[in-house]
Structure 1
Amino acid sequence: MQQSPVDLFGEVVVTQQDVRAWLLAVPRIDPDGPRAGHYVRGYGVVAKIAHAKLYGTFDQLTAPRLIEPQSAEWWHRMAWA
């Protein structure tokens, strides 16, 4: 049985762990970095997480991804030294 994304009052529960997972997976920024708070507020991350949970896409969006060999090559060439 799948857990409902809403609580007893009909609100979508968004935890700090959800926000951390989103920051690591979607914009790929450090949740403890100085930009994280500004990003969360400026881009409405909590609302986006709630929307993703309602539509059942949150787990898919925040799942760890494998980097394809071509992407890894490109990333290493473009990464700051």
Structure 2
Amino acid sequence: MTTPTRRKPKRQPPARDYPSFQLYQPALDLFGGVVVTDDDLYEWVASVSPVHLNERAYDNYVQRYDVASKVRAAKLDRRFDAITARRPPPYHARLALHAIL
């Protein structure tokens, strides 16, 4: 009768400690959709096209240019914060400067 050979249990790899800035939480909600709020839409329009910040132009711009899907795609590509961080100078500033000079 042969004796069964004992196998050594596999070693588990050691747990790695990740600093909090390396842990990326995706922009997905519980059901797998990307969360797009009104504030996100406003930030996008303010950074991409600040001319359209009045009420009527804002609504038309958001609907016609499908800003919600652009915000959704930017969040999935992790580019939303970089895009909304750049703010062009106010549109009316060029008019005031022209009047002063």
Measured against the shorter chain, the TM-score band is 0.7 to 0.9
Residue 78 of structure 2 aligns with an amino acid whose one-letter code is G
Counterparts in 2 of 1:65 and 1:41: CA distance versus 1, 3 Å:
closer
Counterparts in 2 of 1:66 and 1:36: CA distance versus 1, 3 Å:
closer
Q: Deviations over 1:1-45 (max 9, x none)?
A: 333211111100000110110110011131x42111111110010
Residue 6 of structure 1 aligns with an amino acid whose one-letter code is L
Alignment match of 2:44 (pick from 22, 39, 57): 22
Write the mapping of 1:16-55 to structure 2, written as runs, cut at 5 A.
Answer: 16-28=38-50, 29-30=52-53, 32-55=54-77
Q: CA RMSD in A?
A: 2.6
Name the larger-Rg structure.
2
Percent same amino acid among aligned pairs? 36
Are residue 76 (structure 1) and residue 76 (structure 2) matched?
no
Please give the TM-score of this superposition, normalised by the length of structure 2: 0.61
Please give the TM-score of this superposition, normalised by the length of structure 1: 0.75
Residue 76 of structure 1 aligns with an amino acid whose one-letter code is R
User: Partners in 1 of 2:48 and 2:60 — Cα distance?
Assistant: 15
Counterparts in 2 of 1:80 and 1:8: CA distance versus 1, 3 Å:
farther
1:11 is paired with a residue whose SS is coil
**Matched positions, count:** 73
The runs of at least 4 consecutive aligned structure 1 residues that moved more than 2 Å come to 64-67
Residue 67 of structure 2 aligns with an amino acid whose one-letter code is V
